[in-house]
Amino acid sequence: MPRFKLIVEYSGAPFAGWQRQANAPSVQQTLEEALRKLEPEAPPVIAAGRTDTGVHAMGQAVHCDLEKDWDPFRLTEALNNHLRHDPVAILAARVVDFGFNARFSALERLYRYKIVNRRAPLTFAKGLAWRVKAPFDLAAMAEGAAHLLGRHDFTTFRSSQCQADSPLRTLDEFAVRATPEGCEITARARSFLHHQVRSMVGSLALVGSGRWAPAEMRRILEARDRAACGPLAPSEGLYLEAVRYPPPWAD
């Protein structure tokens, strides 16, 4: 029974998140149904991160255990054939040893948040970015973002439904850059709390709009109070871009 590592891309728009739900479509269910067309007894898959409703992925990492010693290329082709009616694609597959766990072996996760500045509604990018009518002050946002770098208690940016044992996390990168359409925000850490990235982006948007001074990010962080947080940024702008692993599991 070999173990496979899959790199999965998906649009989160039609799904109630990654995790299998009792009464709503999920990415996990869609992928497992495709796998069980190849092997009816295939066990559940494990992902690096449980993305929320509407959140996208460009490089979600998954592991699955199968009975057949599949050629990775043929496994990728077969899965993509069964997934062709869904916005889910397998970008790569490889055999890994049983020490690999897509969730617990990860060294870091990289998220990207896309913001488009324009007054007109989005057409081609609808559901793929957060539309904000007025441009942000990116220099102020970068100054505000720097206050969150390092190891902190991120209770302020944690969902009340978060199941993590501790609010302590180390944020290795929280950066803002201009794009032709608006801006992108990247967040990189070994792990994140539930809603942490969207909460940080929503608060940073208040800095970018001039409603908060950059130092306000430090104040609300130190408050350790969810009520101090800014609004939750919409899910459609968030992407799980990549998950990094140590050798020999790195791509």
Pair of tokens at residue 101:
């766990």
pLDDT of residue 164: 86
pLDDT of residue 99: 97
Domains of the chain: 3-105 (3.30.70.580), 108-242 (3.30.70.660)
| pLDDT tens digit sequence for 55-100 | 999 999 999 999 999 999 999 999 999 999 999 999 999 999 999 9
Please name which of 27, 43, 196 lies closest in space to residue 109, comparing C-alpha atoms: 196
Q: Confidence class of residue 213 from pLDDT cuts 50, 70 and 90? A: very high
d(CA 5, CA 19) in angstroms, rounded, equals: 18
Pair of tokens at residue 64:
């699955």
Q: Which residues on neighbouring strands pair with residue 5, listed in sequence order?
A: 63, 94
CB 159 within 8 A of CB 227: no
Give the rounded percent of residues in the chain with a pLDDT score beyond 70.
100
Reported residue count of the chain is: 251
pLDDT of residue 154: 98
pLDDT of residue 160: 85
| From 52, 86, 165, 251, active-site residue | 52
Q: Confidence class of residue 190 from pLDDT cuts 50, 70 and 90? A: very high
Cα 32–Cα 16–Cα 202 angle in degrees, nearest 5: 130
Q: Chain-wide mean pLDDT for the chain?
A: 96
| Chain-centre distance for alpha carbon 19 | 13
pLDDT of residue 142: 98
Neighbours of 233 (CB within 10 A): 23
State which amino acid sits at residue 107.
L
Please name which of 125, 61, 113, 89 lies closest in space to residue 235, comparing C-alpha atoms: 113
pLDDT of residue 161: 85
Average pLDDT of the residues in 103-116: 97
Average pLDDT of the residues in 207-213: 97
- Asked about 71 being catalytic, the answer comes back as no
Provide the whole-model pTM: 0.95
Average pLDDT of the residues in 232-244: 97
pLDDT of 163 higher than 90:
no
